[in-house]
Structure 1
Amino acid sequence: MELFIILKNIILPIFVIMAIGYFIQKKFHLNIATLAKLNIYFLVPGFIFAKLYSTTFSAGLFLNILLFFILYVVILYFISQFIGKLVGLEKGKKTTFTNSVMFFNSGNYGVPVNDLVFRGDPLGMSIQVIMLTLQNIFLFSYGIFSLQAVHTGKLKALLSYFKMPMLYAMLFGISLNMLNIAVPSFILIPANYIADAMISLALFTLGAQVATIRFTSGLGHVYYSLVLRLLVGPAIALAIIYTFRVEGIVAQSLFIASAMPTSVNSAVIAEEYNNHPEFAAQIVLFSTLFSAITVTVVIYLSRLLFG
């Protein structure tokens, strides 16, 4: 019964907005690149700054989340590399496969789930915002580098790390918060307006992105990615949480964040660098669909184990 309530009250509202984005994209053929840039360069940085500036948290909490994130993605990297080699994926496809497991949708899926689960609790949201920031910095630095390295080995992709607006939004938000520096209302009010708009437009964009996904090849190797991302990922997070004896809302937030489906941006960069884009798109589509079930179960377990 509780699983159904979670599905109805938390997961279904998310898919309703995604469905609106999906059908509007099918009818009007919106420019997905523009929607993506609107999220990356406008909504997400504003959201990150507003939330990190207004939330009370310690430097210790930030470092603990950073440690969790690093440990989590490193374990996922080695497991996905091993599985990719085991099933005989060639170098380029194995890179896309590994990225699909490591890069999860912390933004336009994870933030709305967190908001509904914790009903706007500042601590829960600040944890999700930090995870979102770290995930995006990781994706647009290592993620791009890994795909370029398949063909060219160029290191210039690492410079993209310093072009990430959410990196500076995080630094400013945390610094001004920790130093207790007052931000003028003519800056803070627009930032809060941007933050309020982020969730609905992010879900709309996700639905529109899903509507553009096309696939032509078989699903054989997609299933391995789905299992690793949606089942093994949360299991690894749970092991880390228990190992470091994390409790309460922090444990719940990290556990739920780890269960998100594959990031749409992993398919975007695969398309950009022409590295098995159809394979990446299939993984995004099916992991998003199946996550309705797996994320529901993880939310239920998080309440049972850490509530």
Structure 2
Amino acid sequence: MNEFLFIFTSIILPIGLIVVTGYVIQLKFKLDRSTLAKLSIHYVMPAFIFMSLYESSIDFSLLLGVTGFLILYAFLSFILCWFIARFMNLQKDRTVLFTNANLFYNAGNYGVPVNDLVFRSDPYAMSIQVMLVVFQNMFAFSYGIFSLSARSVGKVQALLSYFRMPIFYGLALGLIFNYFHLPVPAPIETGLSYIRNAMIGLVLFILGAQIAGIKFKRLRWSAFVGAMTRLILGPAMAFGLLLLFNMEGVVAQVILIASAMPAGVNSSIIAQEYSDDPEYAAEIVMMSTLLSSVTVSAVIYVALAVF
């Protein structure tokens, strides 16, 4: 119990305070959430991803292994959520929202700060987290949109738009500079380091502002089931797969902790654009985010104790 309380007060509570600050300021000043999102996507995240990959010791066979694990995990999560949705007799559109909220967890705005605090800014641990962030972004804005949109033009544009995002080039350049041991000029490296250091506080603030902008009028039982599926069954499945494939150490710890993250705000944003019932996705995001303060602390404890 003492270890659990330590994890909660030293990791989850500081993150929660910044998120709440963003939430309160958004309610008071009505900041432009679209501008805040652009600030994260086009400014801090590309620099953060580049520097995290540039400074870490990457085993590129590990990169392929983690990617394969994430694809398998996503596939099994899809199957699990589909069966749960069918058992609850959810309508087709709501089944997709239920599934997407579980597939697209908050590996970035929430997961990155948790990783930074748990592993004490370890570049190796953060490089694995970056892989998860990039995978989640590509997955959310490709399959996430495809699953809700029947318009072929929208699908193609969604896929192409990702390759115009700075996050993609931060990933590509970070891997290239790391693999070929290319030096970054000192002034540029210093500037990117300043941006990278601003990332944690900024993305948590933005997460709070985004949550403040989510509107819903009711809480449905199936949405609560969706939130608990994400927070409990998600990490339970990841735990089983990690044991099955004999993964251990920091890699297993990072993956398990990331699998416990709440539903990502991206699932709500996509639903607002492409679904007839965006409120349903918002319910899952809100409930999973609120309940995650307890469940994430528990998963961190298990990850550090077992792996």
Q: TM-score, normalised by structure 1?
A: 0.96
The residue that corresponds to 2:264 in the other structure is 263
* Residue of structure 1 equivalent to 2:201: 200
TM-superposed CA distance for 1:38, in Å, is 1.0
CA contact (8 A) 1:93 1:275 kept: no
Give the whole-Å Cα distance in 2 for the aligned partners of 1:275 and 1:52.
39
Residue 83 (structure 1) shift = 1.5
Residues 260-298 of structure 1, C-alpha deviations (whole Å, 9 max, x = no match): 000011111111224421111111111001000000000
**What value does the CA root-mean-square deviation take over the aligned residues?**
1.3
Question: Contact 1:96/1:275 (CA < 8 Å) preserved in 2?
Answer: no
Equivalent residue runs for 1:1-307 within 5 Å: 1-149=2-150, 152=151, 154=153, 155-156=155-156, 157-306=158-307
SS across alignment from 2:279: helix
Do 1:114 and 1:128's aligned partners in 2 also have CA atoms closer than 8 Å? yes
Separation (CA, whole Å) in 1 of partners of 2:304 and 2:59 = 24
Distance of 1:209 and 1:5 partners within structure 2: 28
CA deviations on 1:103-129 (whole Å, 9 max, x unpaired) are 000111000000110101121111111
CA distances 1:19-71 after superposition (whole Å, capped 9, x unpaired): 11011111101011111111112111111011101111110111111011111
Amino acid at match of 1:110: G
The letter of the residue matching 2:250 is I
Q: Is the 8 A contact 1:48 1:170 kept in 2?
A: yes
| Aligned 8 A contact 1:147 1:275 in 2 | no
Residue deviations 1:225-257, cap 9 Å, x none?
112100011011111111111111111111101
**Segments of 4+ moved more than 4 angstroms:** none
Number of residue-to-residue matches in the alignment? 304
Q: Which amino acid aligns with 1:54?
A: E
Q: Given that residues 219 and 283 in structure 2 are in contact (C-alpha distance below 8 angstroms), is that contact kept between their aligned partners in structure 1?
A: no
Give how far 1:99 is off: 0.5
SS, match of residue 42 in structure 1: helix
CA shift digits 1:148-203 (9 cap, x unpaired):
13xx3554233234233212211110111011111122322222111111110100
Task: Check whether the contact 1:237–1:258 (CA below 8 A) recurs between aligned residues.
Answer: yes
Amino acid corresponding to residue 244 of structure 2 in structure 1: T
Task: Report deviation, 1:209.
Answer: 1.2
Amino acid at match of 2:92: K
Task: Give distance in 1, aligned partners of 2:230 and 2:70.
Answer: 15
**How many Å apart are 1:220 and its aligned residue?**
1.4
| Residue ranges of structure 1 left out of the alignment (5+ in a row) | none
Residue identity opposite 2:21 in structure 1: I
Contact 2:271/2:277 (8 A) holds in 1: yes
The answer as to whether partners of 2:227 and 2:284 remain within 8 angstroms in 1 is yes
- CA displacement at 1:304 relative to structure 2: 1.2
Q: Is the 8 A contact 2:228 2:288 kept in 1?
A: no
Deviation at 1:4, TM superposition (A): 0.6
TM-fit CA distance, 1:212? 1.7
TM-score, normalised relative to structure 2? 0.96
One-letter amino acid of the structure 1 residue matched with residue 97 of structure 2: T
Deviations 1:65-119 (A, max 9, x none): 1011111111111111121222122221111111000000011100000011010
Stretch moving more, 158-167 or 275-284: 158-167
Aligned 8 A contact 1:18 1:204 in 2 = yes
User: What residue identity is the alignment partner of 2:68?
Assistant: L
Where does structure 2 lack aligned partners over 5 or more consecutive residues?
none
CA contact (8 A) 2:112 2:129 kept: yes
